[in-house]
Amino acid sequence: MDLKIFLTVFTTVFIAELGDKTQIATMLFATDKDAGKITIFLAASAALVLASAMGVIAGSFFSEFINEKVLQYVAGAGFIAIGAYTIYSA
């Protein structure tokens, strides 16, 4: 395992997930006194693992047909567009 790639992906995803709607939804589920906290944690963790697996599978699929640099540019442009839209609509 490449530790540099691991730490880069971990840090990027961790920062992206802080305070997002997924974390807020999980926090709201945890406010239910009747809900088991371990169950909520396991369910939220499994959902994130599944979503991440889908991302890896999709990325692997697209990389077979599209050049890696093109994918990086498209992803970068997408993030910039989302950021610009967020600033514009705020």
CA distances, 66 to each of 4, 63, 70 (Å): 25, 5, 7
Nearest to 75 by CA among 59, 87, 61: 59
Residues contacting 63, CB < 8 A, separation 6+:
71
Side-chain half-sphere CA neighbours of 71 within 13 A? 11
Q: Looking at the 3D structure of the chain, how many domains does it have?
A: 1
Read off the tokens for 34: 């009747």
Range of the structural domain that residue 27 is part of = 3-89
pLDDT tens, position by position, 65-84: 999 899 889 989 998 999 89
Selected residue with higher pLDDT from 1 and 39: 39
Beta carbons of 26 and 40 less than 8 angstroms apart:
yes
Residue with tokens 């992906």: 9
- Report field, pTM of the whole predicted structure over 0.75: no
Q: What pLDDT is recorded for position 16? A: 86
pLDDT tens, position by position, 18-64: 888 889 999 999 999 999 999 999 999 999 999 999 999 998 998 89
